[in-house]
Amino acid sequence: MYAKGIEIYCAPTADPRDSWLASVRHIAVEGRCFVLSCNQFNRRGDYPADYGADFGSDPAAVICRGGSCIVDPFGNFLAGPNTEGETILVAEIDRAQVVRGKFDLDVTGHYARPDIFQLRVDERSKRAVTTILPDPAPPLNSGITS
């Protein structure tokens, strides 16, 4: 996607861990793009009472803490991450930051080094899983003459 000039990268998730926040910041810096990451926030009370859960029955118990955020091309949070409750995040973005950021890091431009490394992306539709059977074993007496 970087090679296609992405400026706004949408990254929905259900991962509330801090490691995800590090990931979206990395994507923003590496791709010199804005990253919009949305995550759900919910409490035990958002589910039916008879729905079995490992989180107990307290309706105030947080099941997923959210963490939605908007990150600029330099890895700075423009909004969020929000882990306090349901919210709508809003931020003003300056798309010129994308261009400014590529002056020092452009992973598909002047840093790409196509003289020594190439990445080919095949965008044709394919099956998610393909089974490859082993080649049949050669006969035991293959190549032996009597």
Express each pLDDT in 10-55 by its tens digit: 999 998 899 999 999 999 999 999 999 999 999 999 988 887 777 7
Confidence of residue 143 (pLDDT cuts 50, 70, 90): low
Confidence of residue 142 (pLDDT cuts 50, 70, 90): low
* N-term to C-term CA, the chain: 62
User: In this predicted structure, what is the pLDDT of residue 68?
Assistant: 96
User: In this predicted structure, what is the pLDDT of residue 56?
Assistant: 80
User: In this predicted structure, what is the pLDDT of residue 30?
Assistant: 94
Provide the mean pLDDT of the chain. 89
Among 27, 29, 23, 35, CA closest to 78: 35
Span of 66-70, 72-76, 111-115 with lowest mean pLDDT: 111-115
pLDDT of 80 above 60: yes
Q: Which residues, 6+ apart, have CB-to-CB distance to 78 below 8 Å? A: 34, 70, 71, 72, 91, 92, 93
In the chain, pLDDT over 90 holds for what percent of residues?
A: 55
User: What CATH code is assigned to 2-101?
Assistant: 3.60.110.10
In the chain, pLDDT over 70 holds for what percent of residues?
A: 95
